[in-house]
Amino acid sequence: MKTVLLGVSGSISAFKAAEITNELTKLGFQVDVMMTKSAQEFITPLTIQSLSHRRVHTDVMVEPDPALINHIELAKRADLFLIAPASANIIGKLANGIADDLLSTTALAIKSEVPKLIAPAMNTYMYQNPAMQRNLTILKTDGYQEIDPREALLACGDFGRGALATTKDIVDQVLKNLGTPV
């Protein structure tokens, strides 16, 4: 069974991580989910855990198995690394190699041959910001594939590019990279 390691960060669209987890699990993938502190303000680990049927990981300092280093194990067993939704903050941190929480620390430990997908979601002006575009360019140079945000009426009331890609588009990208779940 192939494992998708899903990182969820603090965007209003974090609730869509539940649907992504559900779809991938139903397809037959094992889905390991990591949530940032901010992501947990938008959706609970309990929701995600109930859909993935697996422990949800939230804290780099919590070691469920004393025999293992959790963030290294999560990275090692990932056949694909996906961040959806990816906040401006996590994109900035990953582009600069910052490792100050579980998601950003684990990201650094992902093996180079493992496909890495990133699905940004944010206000359209945040997305267009030169610092954001610079950071995305760096991530693409580092081997990340961007799953482009959609143009839509955003939660903040602005219309423009910044809405998280559809669950179908995200799942399709996973399938394109991994093929079958087994």
Ligand X SMILES: Cc1cc2nc3c(=O)[nH]c(=O)nc-3n(C[C@H](O)[C@H](O)[C@H](O)COP(=O)(O)O)c2cc1C
Residues with a catalytic annotation lie at 156
Is residue 97 within 8 A of residue 111, CB to CB? The reply is no
89 binds ligand X (CB under 6 A): yes
36 near ligand X (CB under 6 A): yes
C-alpha pair distances (Å), 135 with each of 24, 33, 75, 87, 128: 28, 24, 22, 12, 11
Which one, 125 or 169, has the nearer CB to ligand X? Answer: 125
Residues 123-182 that bind ligand X (CB under 6 A): none
Nearer CB in complex with ligand X: 36/70: 36
CB 63 within 8 A of CB 69: yes
Answer yes or no whether residue 88 interacts with ligand X by CB under 6 A. yes
Listed ranges 10-18, 66-74, 108-116, 143-151: which one lies at the site for ligand X (CB under 6 A): 10-18
Among 17, 51, 74, 121, binds ligand X (CB under 6 A): 121
Its sign, for the CA torsion 152, 7, 30, 80, is positive
For 23, the 3-state DSSP assignment is helix
Q: Which stretch binds ligand X (CB under 6 A): 49-57, 63-71, 88-96, 142-150?
A: 88-96
As measured in angstroms, the least distance from the Cβ of 123 to ligand X is: 7
Residues that bind ligand X (CB under 6 A): 9-13, 36, 38-39, 87-90, 121-122
